[in-house]
């Protein structure tokens, strides 16, 4: 196995990858360490899926950027990350390693180079073409065992802090290892970048060295005259771009057959979640190493220190600094086990949400939450890392889909519509607005009134009555059917805010229809069934005489064909806001105009009470809410909620800048205004 080390940062990632491509075209069975402060680990994961097919691998060797920031590179085109080569003994386990700069390409097999003996030297290098008394530090075959025995790292780092270095890391290497550097053949570091200066300054000794090498095995583009600049002067620019443009699949194919099926997203047996307010998380790295098939998600409200950032070097770790609310919800919902192994202060609001999901939680003696009353909480002694790893593994093996915290059964849209069609049921639907009123809050189009809140609450708790289907949001059996906005709203707002009342509903053992019979489109991820839902809805009033009871600006069906299949339409126009205050007049108008009509109500919380009050009327009454906005969005193929110009729009609750409607047919349908 040939061991190679590179050092660089994310700003140099294209150059690093080009060097890697050139290596792998001519070599296999290579282990490559990339010492870096900030290269995303996804890059390593992707490359490893190609390299593994030719017996090779690439290691993400993360270094604290603060450790290198005080180094002095000497030239503007060189960054402090180039000093990462000094840390090779800390990252590379093997006794021999080839260090390569990232502004070079390899053009041949390196087998012969790796067979070179060190004898009594600590490294082997090619002399610098420009300063022949010194060695160029861009290609070094390193006696890593010797470097470790001599404990050279701290000395090299300290020397690198010198602000007067003439040539950055190269100066340090030559000064520190003076007399301990053996010489490599010129072909292993063909320093083409000096060509420009040599030509214009008549530096014949450089030109003669360049001419002497007929078949360079490593081409090094030294100086700032790089082939990846917009333009460059030195020769062999096309060589660099040849390797840069190679596809990894073609490189693998040079050594055998390429298996495209092995290029895929990583998969794990399960998900472990850690939320922390501190960089110190007890034994986290040991657990990560012991459980490579478990995906560790680590989140925080703030930025993260390097103590956590370095964990990105592992395939099974994802970090979430400055986490967003919807992402936090997703991580909590997908977790199979929660690790309470961060030190205080604890994020109790996160722990509460985890406990709501009833998944296992594990902690160490020093990290456990105090006075936590949770049956599925397991505490280990501080040294019991293996035991905790086993418990995490068992939790993953025994994972089950968590049951909803709220024991509430809601029929889906399709089954709810079938019930209404087959049994001619009346309908009352409850959404977040009604729940806000029940909890004592006003909403934009209805001021809180205790009597109204009490009526709404009682209707829900009573459940289905007198052939009337009571409907709740269909959100108690998972939220992955809905878009991110809806999912986040229910997880972070609706459930926590209404926790107590939802628990009370669950104790009734009622079942409910779906409130979303009138919202079968905009919030759904899969909209392929929306057309069928609207077709089924339209069957409710097909060839029927209907009475629409709506707010002054609702204008349901105006400008679209929602009710085109109805036999006739009458309308009662009610106040757009606080219609409950006029409920007696509205109910009287309905009684006077109901005849044998299907009554459709688009009147918010008031509609629920009206259906309850007028049970004896004998008409089928359907509280159908924001059906018009939903239908408009469906017809236009909207992917987000769009404000409608000439009518009230769902979720745009303040009815601003709504234009007038000059539609005589609509005006003729109005039989009463309240």
274-304 pLDDT tens trace: 999 999 999 999 999 999 999 999 999 999 9
Mean pLDDT of 121-127: 97
Q: What is the model's pLDDT at position 404?
A: 64
Which class does domain 2-260 fall in? alpha beta
3-state secondary structure string across 609-659: HHHHHCHHHCCCEEECCCHHHHHHHHHHCCCCCCCCCCCCECCECCCCCCC
Task: Compute CA 46 distance to the chain's CA centroid, rounded to the nearest angstrom.
Answer: 17
Mean pLDDT of 549-575: 93
Mean pLDDT of 542-548: 96
Domain boundaries, the chain: 2-260, 272-397, 409-673
Mean pLDDT of 475-481: 88
Q: What is the model's pLDDT at position 532?
A: 95
Task: Compute CA 327 distance to the chain's CA centroid, rounded to the nearest angstrom.
Answer: 7
Q: What is the model's pLDDT at position 67?
A: 86
Q: Does residue 199 or residue 20 have the better pLDDT?
A: 20
Mean pLDDT, all residues of the chain: 92
Total residues belonging to the chain:
674
Q: What is the model's pLDDT at position 400?
A: 63
Q: What is the model's pLDDT at position 332?
A: 92
Calpha distance 61→31 (Å, rounded):
12
Q: pLDDT-derived band of residue 663, with 50, 70 and 90 as boundaries?
A: confident
Q: What is the model's pLDDT at position 340?
A: 97
pLDDT cut 90: percent of the chain above it: 78
User: Are 482 and 523 a contacting pair, CB within 8 Å?
Assistant: yes
Q: pLDDT-derived band of residue 136, with 50, 70 and 90 as boundaries?
A: very high
Mean pLDDT of 203-229: 91
Q: Is the pLDDT of residue 624 over 60?
A: yes
Q: What is the pTM of this model?
A: 0.66
Q: What is the model's pLDDT at position 657?
A: 61
Q: What is the model's pLDDT at position 498?
A: 94
Q: Is the pLDDT of residue 71 over 90?
A: no
Calpha distance 31→2 (Å, rounded):
6
Mean pLDDT of 565-582: 95
Domain 272-397, architecture per CATH: 3-Layer(aba) Sandwich (3.40)
Mean pLDDT of 577-595: 96
Residues 6+ apart with CB under 8 A from 143: 95, 96, 118, 121, 122, 123
Q: Report how far apart, in Å, the C-alpha atoms of 307 and of each of 62, 63, 143, 279, 286 are.
A: 11, 10, 30, 6, 13
Calpha distance 367→345 (Å, rounded):
10
Q: What is the model's pLDDT at position 74?
A: 67
236-269 pLDDT tens trace: 999 999 999 999 999 999 999 999 999 998 999 9
Residues 6+ apart with CB under 8 A from 197: 130, 203, 206, 223
* Backbone dihedral angles phi then psi of residue 184, each to the nearest 5 degrees: -100, 160
Residue by residue, DSSP assigns 395-417 as: HHHT--PPPPSS--EE--HHHHH
Q: Report how far apart, in Å, the C-alpha atoms of 203 and of each of 152, 209, 236, 599 are.
A: 35, 10, 19, 97
* Backbone dihedral angles phi then psi of residue 460, each to the nearest 5 degrees: -65, -50
Q: Is the pLDDT of residue 403 over 80?
A: no
């Amino acid at each position: 196995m040939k061991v190679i080390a590179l050092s660089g940062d994310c700003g140099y990632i294209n150059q690093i990858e080009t060097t890697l491509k050139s290596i792998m075209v001519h070599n296999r069975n290579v282990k490559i360490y990339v010492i870096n402060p900030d290269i995303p680990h996804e890059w390593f994961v992707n490359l490893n899926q190609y390299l593994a097919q030719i017996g090779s691998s690439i290691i993400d060797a993360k270094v604290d950027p603060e450790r290198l920031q005080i180094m002095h590179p000497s030239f503007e085109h060189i960054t402090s990350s180039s000093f990462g080569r000094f840390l090779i003994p800390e990252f590379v386990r093997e006794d021999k390693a080839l260090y390569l700069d990232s502004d070079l390409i390899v053009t041949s097999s390196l087998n012969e180079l790796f067979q070179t003996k060190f004898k009594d030297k600590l490294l082997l290098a090619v002399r610098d073409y420009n300063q022949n008394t010194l060695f160029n530090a861009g290609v070094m075959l390193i006696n890593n065992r010797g470097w470790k025995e001599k404990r050279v790292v701290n000395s090299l780092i300290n020397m690198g802090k010198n602000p007067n270095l003439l040539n950055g890391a190269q100066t340090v290497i030559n000064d520190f290892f003076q007399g301990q550097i053996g010489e490599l053949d010129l072909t292993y570091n063909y320093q083409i970048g000096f060509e420009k200066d040599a030509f214009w300054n008549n530096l014949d000794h450089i030109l003669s060295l360049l001419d002497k090498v007929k078949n360079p095995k490593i081409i090094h583009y030294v100086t700032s005259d790089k082939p990846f600049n917009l333009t460059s002067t030195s020769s062999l620019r096309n060589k660099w771009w040849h390797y840069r443009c190679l596809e990894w699949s073609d490189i693998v194919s040079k050594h055998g057959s390429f298996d495209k099926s092995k290029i895929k997203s990583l998969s794990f047996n399960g998900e472990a979640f850690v939320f922390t307010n501190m960089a110190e998380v007890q034994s986290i790295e040991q657990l990560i190493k012991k459980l490579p098939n478990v995906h560790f998600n680590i989140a925080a409200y703030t930025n993260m220190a390097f103590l956590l950032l370095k964990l990105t070097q592992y395939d099974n770790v994802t970090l979430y600094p400055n986490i967003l609310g919807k992402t936090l919800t997703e991580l909590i919902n997908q977790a199979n086990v929660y690790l309470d192994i961060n030190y205080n202060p604890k994020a109790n609001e996160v722990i509460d949400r985890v406990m709501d999901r009833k998944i296992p939680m594990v902690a160490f003696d020093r990290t456990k939450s105090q006075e936590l009353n949770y049956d599925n909480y397991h505490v280990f002694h501080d040294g019991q890392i293996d035991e905790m790893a086993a418990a995490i593994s068992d939790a993953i093996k025994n994972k089950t889909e968590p049951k909803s915290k709220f024991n509430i059964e809601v029929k889906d849209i399709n089954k709810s519509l079938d019930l209404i069609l087959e049994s001619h049921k009346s309908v009352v639907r409850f959404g977040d607005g009604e729940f806000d009123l029940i909890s004592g809050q006003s909403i934009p189009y209805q001021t809180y009134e205790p009597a109204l809140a009490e009526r709404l609450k009682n209707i829900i708790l009573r459940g289905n009555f007198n052939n009337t289907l009571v409907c709740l949001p269909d959100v108690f059996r998972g939220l992955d059917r809905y878009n991110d906005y809806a999912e986040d709203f229910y997880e972070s707002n609706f459930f926590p805010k209404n926790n107590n009342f939802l628990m009370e509903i669950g104790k009734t053992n009622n079942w409910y229809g779906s409130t979303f019979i009138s919202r079968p489109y905009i919030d759904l991820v899969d909209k392929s069934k929306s057309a069928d839902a609207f077709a089924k809805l339209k069957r409710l009033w097909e060839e029927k005489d209907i009475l629409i009871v709506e707010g002054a600006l609702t204008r349901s069906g105006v400008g679209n064909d929602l009710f085109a299949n109805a036999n006739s339409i009458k309308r009662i126009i009610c106040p757009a806001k606080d219609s409950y205050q006029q409920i007696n007049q509205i109910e009287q108008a309905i009684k006077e105009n109901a005849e044998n009509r299907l009554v459709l109500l688009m009147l918010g919380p008031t509609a629920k009470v009206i259906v309850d009050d007028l049970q004896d009327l004998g008409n089928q009454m359907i509280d159908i809410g924001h059906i018009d906005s939903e239908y408009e969005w469906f017809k236009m193929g909207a992917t987000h909620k769009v404000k409608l110009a000439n009518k009230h729009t769902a979720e745009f609750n303040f009815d601003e800048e709504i234009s007038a409607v000059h539609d005589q047919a609509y005006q003729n349908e109005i039989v009463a205004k309240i």
